[in-house]
Amino acid sequence: MNAARGLLGEYMIAGKKIVIGALVPTDFVPLYGWFNDVAAVRLDGIFRPVNLASHLQWCQNIGNDPTKVMFAIRRCGDAAIIGYLNISSINGVHRSADIGIRIGEEENRNQGFGKEALRLGLDYCWKHLNLERVALTVFSKNARAIHVYRAAGFKKEGTLRRYCFVDGEWIDTVIMAAFRPSPRKIRKSAAGAVHAAAGQDAMTIAV
């Protein structure tokens, strides 16, 4: 994991293809559209329309909750947001949290952006939040998401039967979690990320 100065002036955590960093005001409109995307929301939750006033208030207050961290996902060298990574329910006693991710538009999916964002997010959880366990839930029929989570290091812990009622049917929900790796693996991950991101960081700083 490597930090670089972003196109918009904020510090970002860089990978090979994408960077994750703070939200900025220009991200608020795309986020509003994604939160109101019925088809996408059905993949992981119950759809409720979000009004603009509430959305803007939420965006302004996102950094005030110590139990949450939210990252914008961007392509390396591009200021446009393509998705977001949300770390929530951060518990300092149990050293645990939940994580969620969304790539906003179909054109940016199936390109490895989500997997890399999850890897960077987990690295942040281990190194900066000192967490031991990071969990997520996913609908059992969302095979694409489950594949991405497994590739990022999450393992299935169980299934909540008929847990959610979405679009006229009951949906089973799968619980998955990733655990803090050994110190050696964390150091190895850091070294690999710095090496892989070096060229992209130089480009980002120069833009």
Q: In this predicted model, what pLDDT tens digit does every residue of 69-102 receive, in sequence order?
A: 999 999 999 999 999 999 999 999 999 999 999 9
CA 113 to chain centre: 10
pLDDT digits (tens, 9 = 90+) for 3-35: 555 555 555 899 999 999 999 999 999 999 998
- Name which residue leads in pLDDT, 195 or 67: 67
Q: In 3D, which of 47, 114, 41 has the Cα closest to residue 82?
A: 114
- Name which residue leads in pLDDT, 46 or 128: 128
Q: In 3D, which of 72, 176, 85, 183 has the Cα closest to residue 127?
A: 183
CA 85 to chain centre: 2
CATH number of 2-206: 3.40.630.30
Whole-number pLDDT of residue 166? 87
Whole-number pLDDT of residue 167? 84
Residues catalogued as catalytic? 149
Which range among 16-20, 40-44, 97-101, 136-140 shows the weakest confidence by mean pLDDT?
Answer: 40-44
b or e along 43-57 (b: 16 or more beta carbons within 10 Å of the residue's beta carbon)? ebeeeeebeeeebee
- Name which residue leads in pLDDT, 42 or 178: 178
b or e along 182-201 (b: 16 or more beta carbons within 10 Å of the residue's beta carbon)? eeeeeeebeeebeebbeebb
CA distance 21 to 18: 10
Sketch the domain layout of the chain as residue ranges. 2-206
CA distance 16 to 193: 8
Residue in the structure block whose two tokens are 């961290």: 69
Instruction: Give the global pTM.
Output: 0.82
Both structure tokens of 125: 């959880």
